[in-house]
Amino acid sequence: MLDTAGIIEIRWHGRGGQGAVTSAELLARAAISEGKYAQAFPSFGPERRGAPVLAFDRISHKEPIRVRAEVTEPDVVVILDSGLIRIVNVTSGLKERGLIIMNTKSSLEDMAAEFGNKWRLAVVNATRIAQELLGVNIVNTTMLGALIRATGVIKLESLYEPLEARFGRAAASNIDALRRAFEETKIKE
């Protein structure tokens, strides 16, 4: 779990079409519904479907957020596609004792070795969950479940309304994916 006394900064790494921007937005909406201060925003360049994309969240439990720049020294890095670790420096600026949350079919031990046991780590096979419950390889709601499990930054239930507003009839299966990822996430402190 994260120390939630100050501002928590999260950087999302995904590929165009995987839902990183949507995840950041849904997380911020849920945090605001809990009475927290939050902001979410993407980093856009010449992205296209499948190209690496970034999105960011800041969440504060106590005071308004004044910073409006990209998150360069995150507390948490969320990686929606494990293939990105070969082409993007996903740990750039990650704080000491920072947390990596990763969609992977690899074991927790293998991924800890991959990152040199330098940071805390949480892993979940979000792709499998999304394919089984949603029928698509869009892992945004599953990775939100992993993020909540690993950080406790918001309550799981706080995402239900934003998911219903965003996905309509598909919200029920997205909530199922969120819950299942929450349960299946493995964490190494």
Q: Which domains does the chain have, with CATH numbers?
A: 7-188 (3.40.920.10)
Q: Could you tell me which of 7, 25, 4 has the C-alpha nearest to residue 63?
A: 7
List pLDDT tens digits, range 143-183: 999 999 999 999 999 999 999 999 999 999 999 999 999 99
| 63-73 pLDDT per residue, tens | 999 988 899 99
Grouping H, G, I as helix, E, B as strand and the rest as coil, residue 44 is coil
Q: Which residues contact 69 (CB under 8 A, 6 or more apart)?
A: none
Distance, in Å, from the CA atom of 136 to the CA atom of 127, rounded to the nearest integer, reads: 8
Give the up-direction half-sphere exposure of residue 26: CA atoms within 13 A in the CB hemisphere: 31
